[in-house]
Structure 1
Amino acid sequence: MSLVANIAASYRRPGDVLGRMLAEGAREDRALALCMGGCIAMFVAQWPRLSREAYLSGDDLQMLLGGSLLGVVFILPLALYLLAGLSHLLCRLLGGQGTGFGARLALFWALVAATPLMLLHGLVAGFIGPGAAKGLIGLAWIVGFGWIWIAGLRRAEFGAGTGA
């Protein structure tokens, strides 16, 4: 399936999507590409908010973008690898039989699949600013990301049924 079709399918049956990805075999290059793609999308999603912040506060936009680039594209992937490792260890303690690759793929795929909500959150933060709309979209992003990650982790570690 294409990337866009997999993202759309992840909101309905995230376990099935991750199961298909796992069936293709353990390819760390694909996992790293998903991680970096998700982080780059997160960086792009922050542009409208950072632009608004620079305009309102008089700060230099280039400095704000540089700090965001460093944090999101260079440091966040390391934290995500650590989080995936910790989630794998926790699942092993709970009886999981999966691999570290499966745990990484579940986390990185959740980040990529939640990208549309992340981009919408960035647009709302940049054009509307703080308020109920931004909070609601942020909550939707957290719930969507969590739903896809947990369902994928269940599939990767426990082989839990089809679908979610």
Structure 2
Amino acid sequence: MSITQDILATYRRPKSVAVRRQANGPREDRALAILMAACIVIFVAQWPRLSREAHLSETDIMPLIGGALMGWVFMAPLFFYAIAFVTQLVLKGFGGTTGYRARMALFWALLAGSPVILFQGLVAGFIGPGLLNNLVSLIWLVAFFVFWIAGLSVARNKAD
């Protein structure tokens, strides 16, 4: 299946998509590509909010976009690799999994949540802070954790 079809299928059957995604064996290039795609989508999702902030404060948007680019595309991948490493260490105490499977569970959860994070960016940009923004952010957080836990359960059950 294509990435977009897998993202949509993750909202219906997160475990079966995780099984299919992790069945191909360790492919670190694929894991990195999924992580970078997720970080780029999250970066793009920040644009409406940054545009709103720049307009309301009457400042230039480019430094805000440059900071978001630095944070999401260059720094966040390192942070997510660290989280995946800690997750792998914790899972080793409960029966174990490979580092690749722990990374894929986290990275796929980030990418699969991209439609909601894009919508949250639009809400933050057009409506601004408030109840609706908080609600959409909570929906993204719940979806992310559901997808991550589904991926981790598959990773734990299929430890090599």
Task: Give the TM-score, by structure 1 length.
Answer: 0.94
**Which residue matches 2:78?**
78
**Which residue matches 1:23?**
23
Mapped partners of 1:26, 1:6: distance in 2: 18
Alignment of 1:13-162 (within 5 A): 13-96=13-96, 98-159=97-158
Give, in angstroms, the shift of residue 159 of structure 1: 3.8
Mapped partners of 2:39, 2:129: distance in 1: 23
Question: Which amino acid is the alignment partner of residue 54 of structure 1?
Answer: A
Q: How many residues align?
A: 159
Moved over 4 A (4+): none
**Which residue matches 2:6?**
6
Question: Which amino acid is the alignment partner of residue 137 of structure 1?
Answer: V
Mapped partners of 2:157, 2:94: distance in 1: 9
Larger displacement relative to structure 2 (73-82 or 13-22): 13-22
Mapped partners of 1:155, 1:105: distance in 2: 11
CA-based RMSD: 1.1
Give, in angstroms, the shift of residue 146 of structure 1: 0.5
**Aligned-pair identity (%):** 54
Q: Which blocks of at least 5 consecutive residues in structure 1 are unaligned?
A: none
SS of the residue 1:63 aligns to: helix
**Structure 1 residues 17-38: Cα deviation after superposition (integer angstroms, max 9, x where no partner):** 1111111111100000000000
SS of the residue 2:12 aligns to: coil
Instruction: Point out which structure has higher relative CO (alpha carbons under 8 A, 6+ apart).
Output: 1
Give, in angstroms, the shift of residue 158 of structure 1: 2.5
Task: Give the TM-score, by structure 2 length.
Answer: 0.96
Q: Which blocks of at least 5 consecutive residues in structure 2 are unaligned?
A: none
SS of the residue 2:149 aligns to: helix
